[in-house]
């Protein structure tokens, strides 16, 4: 069964609400194995057929956990080329992190990115959660 890995970081729960909605949407498609996790390793990324990364913005950047995951994955030369990738995340005023993540996935890992990333100003409202579910459905359809 194809797998979607949702990796995210969150400090106050806002990006987690988005991650859960992406998971919900993806699970509506039958025949897709969905894992939502806080910690992932490069080999988990390698095993997955599609990856969605939830990255809140802190100090104009992605959090260290997400940054280190991407760095380790690059260092271990894991090949993710051609796999589907998406990014999302909560922010307060500038919200760079999801686009930065997607930029790395697109340029360094040659992944097939779904653009633009989904961003939520602070706590996601129903409209944004529905966009996240839609993203999950869209990824699942590609698998
Ligand atoms: C110390 C600190 C730094 C922050 N820096 C930024 C920032 O540079 N840009 C921005 O858009 N939001 C910034 N925020 C706001 C967070 O991105 C926002 O609260 C978001 O909802 C947190 O998501 P989370 O609940 O998933 O951790 C910052 C918040 C804190 C507490």
> What are the tens digits of pLDDT across the range 46-71?
999 999 999 999 999 999 999 999 99
Q: How confident is the model at residue 132 (pLDDT cuts 50, 70, 90)?
A: very high
Sign of CA dihedral 143, 133, 72, 112: positive
- Give CA–CA dist 32/9, Å, rounded: 23
Question: Model pTM?
Answer: 0.98
The mean per-residue pLDDT over the stretch 9-13 comes to 98
Q: How far is the CA of 91 from the centre of ligand 1 (A)?
A: 5
Q: Is 9 in the pocket of ligand 1 (CB under 6 A)?
A: no
Residue 136 · residue 27 · CB < 8 Å? yes
Burial-class residue 43 by CB neighbours within 10 Å (0-12, 13-18, 19+).
exposed
Q: Is 60 in the pocket of ligand 1 (CB under 6 A)?
A: yes
pLDDT at 30: 84
The mean per-residue pLDDT over the stretch 2-25 comes to 98
Q: Encoding tokens for residue 36?
A: 């939502």
Give me the torsion for CA of 36, 2, 49, 58, rounded to 10°: -20
């Amino acid at each position: 069964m194809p797998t979607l890995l949702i990796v995210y970081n969150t400090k106050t729960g806002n990006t987690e609400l988005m991650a859960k909605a992406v998971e919900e949407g993806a699970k509506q498609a039958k025949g897709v194995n969905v894992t939502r996790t806080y910690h992932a390793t490069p080999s988990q990324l390698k095993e997955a057929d599609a990856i969605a990364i939830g990255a809140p913005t802190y100090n104009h950047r992605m959090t260290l956990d997400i940054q280190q995951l991407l760095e380790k994955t690059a260092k271990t030369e894991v090949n993710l080329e051609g796999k589907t990738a998406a990014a999302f995340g909560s922010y307060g005023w500038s919200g760079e992190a999801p686009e930065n993540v997607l930029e790395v996935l697109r340029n360094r890992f040659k992944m097939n990115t779904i653009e633009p990333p989904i961003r939520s100003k602070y706590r996601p409202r129903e409209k944004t959660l529905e966009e996240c579910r839609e993203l999950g459905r869209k990824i699942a359809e590609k698998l």
